[in-house]
Amino acid sequence: MTSTATSTSDGIVDEWAIRRMVRTMIPLLAGLSLLQMASGTVLESFEETLLTQPSLLILVPVQIGTAGNLASIMCSRLSTQLHLGTFELSLSNPGVRANTGAVFALAGTVFSLVGVAAWGIGTVLGGSLTLLEVFTISMVSGMLLALLVVVLSLLSVTASYRLGFNPDDTTIPVVTNLCDITGVLILFAVVVVVV
């Protein structure tokens, strides 16, 4: 590969050089993995409960995955808007309004389905939580996560732009990781209250 130089012949920083992409992302990914150990520790401490209540074990990847999806859509769309020059950090920005509204509507739809499905599968796998318990856990933690997705996406796209990073590289890892960690914390906070 002759293309690993960090700048092109005309002196402009090459956003597509391997070395630049690796150097931008490795510290970020490593730092975020360290933060993920916080949610890992929470999971470890709930190991007994998780192994006896499969509904909760099912909710872990689903809540995290869905929050990650929503964050990824929001960040990716806002980043592209930024590249095209139509983004601004304001609640009256049409793009911001549309994306925010869509995230909440999607969350409401998905987390109600999740509540029912996780209860059903968990019951088959030998769990003993009621439908109301699992549904409440899913909806309450899910809508809190949606709020978090919206706030973090807006802030990270803005911050990334101001700090001179390409939001494509930085926002999705930052927001999805923060949502994962907070997601597990929120999930088990709600679990402790409901169960």
Q: Footprint of other proteins on residues 122-151 (CB under 8 A)?
A: 122, 125
**Sole window of 62-70, 130-138, 153-161, 186-194 interacting with other proteins (rule: CB under 8 A):** 62-70
Least distance in angstroms from the C-beta of 6 to other proteins: 12
191 binds other proteins (CB under 8 A): no
Least distance in angstroms from the C-beta of 64 to other proteins: 7
Buried b (16+ CB within 10 A) or exposed e, 85-105: eebeeeeebebbeebbeebee
Q: What is the torsion angle, in degrees rounded to the nearest 10, for the CA atoms of residue 158, residue 163, residue 166 and residue 170?
A: -80
7 binds other proteins (CB under 8 A): no
Least distance in angstroms from the C-beta of 78 to other proteins: 9
Q: Which of 13, 37, 132, 193 lies at the binding interface for other proteins (CB under 8 A)?
A: 37
Whole-number Å distance between alpha carbons of 148 and 132: 24
33 binds other proteins (CB under 8 A): yes
Which single residue is written with the structure tokens 């150990």? 37
Give how far the C-alpha of residue 131 lies from the chain's centroid of Cα atoms, to the nearest Å.
26
Who contacts 131 (Cβ-Cβ below 8 Å, separation ≥6)?
A: 115, 116, 119
Q: Which of 7, 83, 90, 132 lies at the binding interface for other proteins (CB under 8 A)?
A: 83
Least distance in angstroms from the C-beta of 190 to other proteins: 17
**Sole window of 14-22, 137-145, 156-164, 187-195 interacting with other proteins (rule: CB under 8 A):** 14-22
Q: Which of 28, 89, 139, 143 lies at the binding interface for other proteins (CB under 8 A)?
A: 28
From the CA atom positions of the chain, what is the Rg in Å?
A: 19
Length of the chain: 195
